[in-house]
Amino acid sequence: MNIRKGLLTIFGATALILGAQVTPVSAQIETSVGTFSPTIAVTSNYLFRGISQTDRNPALQAGLEYGYTVGMFTPYLGTFISTVRFPDGAGGRLRQHVELDLYGGLRVTPIENLTLDVGTISYMYPRNTVDKLPNAQGVGSPQWNEVYGKAAYDFGVAKVVGSVYYTSAFTAASGTGWYYEAGADVPLPIWDLTASARVGRQTVDKNANFGFPDYTTWNLGVSRDFFGFLVAATYSDTNIKKGATLGRDINNANATLNQENYKLTNNQFVLSLTKAF
């Protein structure tokens, strides 16, 4: 494999790693200066937008969010950290063992059961080694920022959710990126289970740099709260095909999806355990 192509496909996996934050358990620490919501989690496979961020291996995760509610408005700040693992590329492993996300925004509840949310998120990999790998010049940084808008309405029998994410500079110099997602959470009448379903669509300008084609992802899951621990099981898949065409890379050569990246995208079952304090 060409060293530069190896780096590009690794960065493609990087883009999908970020942002798959743990499902929050309903627990908060109320103080006179606002509300704090810490969580810790362990998962059998860290998925982000349908693609494994840990080479289909387990991950440890933690998060902390602060919010201050005034009437219908809740400005908030938060952070999320997770272990990550990327496929090997020519010239050695791109060492990025930790993902660190910082985010902030504003939630608004204009009417009962409706929540609107706008914000921004920064995806970072402290001490990544991209600059130390051979022929890394021009590949682009794995770190990037997004803005987002979300909406959720709880009908009682189901909560319907939707979101859109935008960046002008997607990971690995991939240009403009959009992600759209819609779904629902439905309380089930047995064993206090909640069923969930999501469908999403990821697009970028420069797929060869990203390492993946534009694609659709979907997942189905069930979860239940056991003594303050949220236990969740999720099945996820994408419509990405083996050997998909990615267009031309930065060397103006035709690129296709490689096998290492393909295995991160299909038929994945995830178990997770989350604790909120």
Residue 267 has pLDDT above 90, yes or no: yes
Interval 220-243 mean pLDDT: 95
The predicted pLDDT at position 16 comes to 40
Distance CA 80, CA 221 (A): 22
As a whole number, the mean pLDDT across the chain is 86
Task: List all residues 6 or more positions away from 11 whose beta carbon is below 8 Å from its beta carbon.
Answer: 94, 139, 140, 142, 171, 172, 174, 209, 210, 211
Whole-prediction pTM: 0.86
Interval 8-13 mean pLDDT: 40
Domain region containing 230:
3-276
Task: List all residues 6 or more positions away from 123 whose beta carbon is below 8 Å from its beta carbon.
Answer: 18, 19, 99, 101, 143, 144, 145, 146, 171
The predicted pLDDT at position 137 comes to 46
Interval 134-146 mean pLDDT: 68
Reported confidence tier of residue 4, pLDDT bands at 50, 70, 90:
very low
The count of domains in the chain is: 1
* CA-only gyration radius of the chain, Å: 19
Interval 110-126 mean pLDDT: 96
Measured between alpha carbons, how far is residue 138 from residues 45, 135, 268 in Å?
A: 31, 8, 33
Among residues 139, 161, 184, which one has the least CA distance to residue 7?
A: 139
The token pair that represents 23 in the structure block: 């499902």
Q: Tell me the longest C-alpha to C-alpha distance in the chain.
A: 59
The predicted pLDDT at position 7 comes to 40
Task: List all residues 6 or more positions away from 45 whose beta carbon is below 8 Å from its beta carbon.
Answer: 52, 54, 56, 57, 58, 59, 268, 269, 270
In degrees and rounded to multiples of 5, residue 269 shows phi and psi of -115, 130
CATH of the domain at 156: 2.40.160.40
- Window from 74-78, 114-118, 160-164, 242-246 with minimum mean pLDDT: 242-246
Q: Give the alpha-carbon dihedral of 134, 139, 142, 147, to 10 degrees.
A: 170
Between vectors from CA 246 to CA 245 and to CA 249, what angle results, nearest 5°? 135
Residue 87 has pLDDT above 50, yes or no: yes
Reported confidence tier of residue 275, pLDDT bands at 50, 70, 90:
very high
